[in-house]
Structure 1
Amino acid sequence: MGFSLTTAYPFWFFIICIACGVGYACILYYSNTNNGFGKTFNALLFVLRLLAVTIISFLLLSPLLKTVSRHVEKPIIVLALDNSESIAVGKDSSYFRNEFTPSFRELANKLSSKYEIATYSFDKDVTPGLKGDFHGKQTDMSKLFSELNNRYSNRNLAAVVLAGDGIVTRGADPIYTVEKVPYSIYTIALGDTSRHRDLLVARVNYNHLAYLGNNFPIEITILGYKCTGSQSRLSVVSGDKQIYSEAFNVANENFTKTVNVMVSATVSGIQRFRISVAPVKGEISVQNNFRDIFVEVLDGRQKVLLVSASPHPDIAALKEAIENNRNYEVEQVQLDQFSGNVNKYSLVILHQVPSILDAGSQLLTQLKGAKVPVLFILGSQSNLQAFNALQMGLNIPPTSASLSAAFPQINPNFSQFSISSEVSRMISEYPPLNVPFGQYKSVTSSEPLLYQRIGSVSTSMPLISFNQGLDRKSGIIAGEGIWRWRLTDYLKSGNHQAFDELMSRVVQYLSVKSDKSQFRVILKNNFTEDETVEIDAELYNDSYELVNEPDVNIVVTDKSGKTFPFSFSRTVNAYYLNAGSFPPGEYTYKASTSYSGKSFQKTGSFVVMAINEELLNTVANHNLLFTLAGQHNGEMLHPSDMNKLIDILNKREDIKTVTYAQKKYTDLVNIFWVFLLIISLLSAEWFLRKRSGGY
């Protein structure tokens, strides 16, 4: 480790510091020769004062102490093991579980004598260590490389040794993820590249939502490999009842059959359907011969009325975004054509109504007497005077007919509902809306989701805001041109997901009926088997203030009657439970608590869906592994040649130890020993003077 001093001032300033010390000491000790100390003693005191004053003067130059430390880092070798189901689904499953994984760990131990070794397992996620249980339900190889790129950035990562079958079921193409990485990639080819005799339910296309009394289709695709001449049977079972059955013959080596089954939604709630094909003789695995699907049957769609003052591209964008959620049915009319009853709708959207051409007094009068939530969209045709008279939580004094261009800016404190990070990212890229010019005045109960940004100036004026009144909710989009947001979505990401999600959240929040119960349990109604079941709970006192004093318990019960009891943990003013993951199936729950002498209970259900993507294609993709290694100065090996990797790496002259020099600057005035030195010098001088009778 090296040390040096540096300052922003020229070197000759240090000479001035010495001169100050000399001058101060001379005045004190050589201008007063009659102090009775003697020549030698005077010289000692002179030196002590000279050093103290010089150091103090030097500190006025704000000097920095530069330390240079050197860190030696051995080459890092990462060993990563594909822990997904497809590795161990074939005839060699016992070998991979009982022999290969221990051998791979032994390889890591052998390499650790010369290299710094890090080990990871990956499937859908990346975890430290070599698991080797091969229970992963999905494979995301790109996530592994992204994790390594982040974790070992600016480190001496020399090579990645990846053991897997090359089957990727989610995430980006790993070829592009590692396009510019500086390290080498070696691959160990696992799995089986040959196609075995197999009959499977490959795909099931269906609507996750259906409506009571309607029929809905289930499209089933069956694949068969090397099963020519075999007979099988397709069955669809709902509960204990078989609702469809068909025998079929496998006609060729690469057999495909698509069947459309019409099913009736006869009971509301979550319905489970098992789709299966009977196994044929000689199949290595029958785990992919069935699929379970869950359909939520709703007792009627919610209707949304969309009324516009005149044709506008916003209308089509809104209608398509809302109808992407199958819970909603949109009826779109122009103001002069509407003569119905608003009470049959869950939400009314008014696009530039009231307008300068037609105030829509009949419709607005009807809305005033109803408790139907309303979403106003303002624009160039809006009659602001008539809008302000409605007292919807926002007042815009009409100063002129001009419009402003307002960019959206997220309110970080918005609390009514959450939006995903992708929607937040896209909002920052959306073009401006054309909003009425004026000074916006909001009531205190109004909460903005988005603020207006005029040019580069952030304002507190709302762009999208909501107000919870005594009898209904209302919302305001204070500008026209949201169709450009949907178009921007498509130009940036090739789809409309962000805009559709944003509008869906707005519509859901406004149309959902307020829950006035004092005890609430909040969770999704379906999970996948690799997800954790997370549940929130809220308890309100009689004044509808959140409290979390009493304990809240919940019991989850599966189809067989087995129970799983849990207790919620407390958050700031509510409750939270992470119940972990559950096997695929249907579950019911009962949550309970007591407060102020009252007992509260909530019951419900959820389903856990199986993931069998790893079982649909079990043919190893060694071509991907070969390409990864070939493009990154590596080599693809087979498990029998795995130990050759030690010699291959040892012969690489470019894989070597590196030394890093780390510079650190510390303000000298903050170093304690410098302060201690000054105090010691002055204390020594004082002690010597006192001891000799000086003052």
Structure 2
Amino acid sequence: YDAGKYANTPIAELLPMYLNDRAEEPEIEAVSNFKAALTTRGRTHPVTRLADDRAASAKVWDSLPAITVPETLANLKPGATLILEARHTADKNRVIPLLAEQRYGRGRTLAFTTNDSWRWQMEMTSTSKAHPTFWRQLLRYVVSTTPNLTEVAAERDVYAQGDVVSLTSEIHDKKWEAIKDAVVMARVTKPSGATADVPLKLNFSEKASDYRAEFTPDETGLHELAVTAKRGNAVLGEAKSSFLISERTREFNDAAQNVELLKRIAAETGGKYFTLDKADDLLDEITTLEGKNSERVSKDLWDMPINFLLLIALASGEWFLRKRRGLA
């Protein structure tokens, strides 16, 4: 990862670990002799299941030979999950991430920091199936969240009452080619049980497989969304989703700045109204503004013993440090 200079590329955003800003050539002694170890999540993770039960699977992992980790990526991103650790065989206190995952968009990404997992095959007996089983399960786990040929979703999960809801649907055939001539209809089931049909039209301005519609719900609560794509009488695909309509509170009604009200409050309370271009004057006004109950108090700092003691302490500290280092 770092050696490939991916730190400042879009690939870095996909990974569940933070990449370093620079690539350093690691020493062989620093990257060798690591053993894979299951984390708490790894003991139950589908990728790491190498036997029928957890105990047997853990024994298989313990029996695997050591591997190398060329780059130390120690920091996981928020929301990432550590599945495997790499524990140094000589230094028990040295533990670094080996396999981690995170949710990304509608799928998931994994980062595997070793480059010689082939040792789990070539340095084991011919009957060992650990290596192919691991990679088969890892690949199956990654692609298990492949998007459906027909997808539908609201632009947001939660809307306020009175908001316009935007629906988007993507339609593909079995070759993942965009379908441009589908008739797409969304059926919205309201919290009361009533339904409303909303047709979606092809969006020519962007993706050819993108169908869109807008409507304004008249009820609050959870709305179920079911879309059907047809070509003639043939059903091309179906998809489901949902969104929530919440009650609009008075706090968010007419949330724009009420200038006249602010000026009136400032005038009636002895304050002032400031615009952004006058913000630099705010500090001066605060420090010099005096109210009816204000009292100005002046103290001579020279007559305050604490200041004299602090001065003596600073001078004594400097003399002590200089004396100790042979500078006095």
TM-score computed with the length of structure 1 as normaliser:
0.24
- Structure with the greater alpha carbon radius of gyration: 1
Larger strand percent: 1
Q: Highest relative contact order (Cα 8 Å, sep 6+), 1 or 2?
A: 1
TM-score computed with the length of structure 2 as normaliser:
0.44
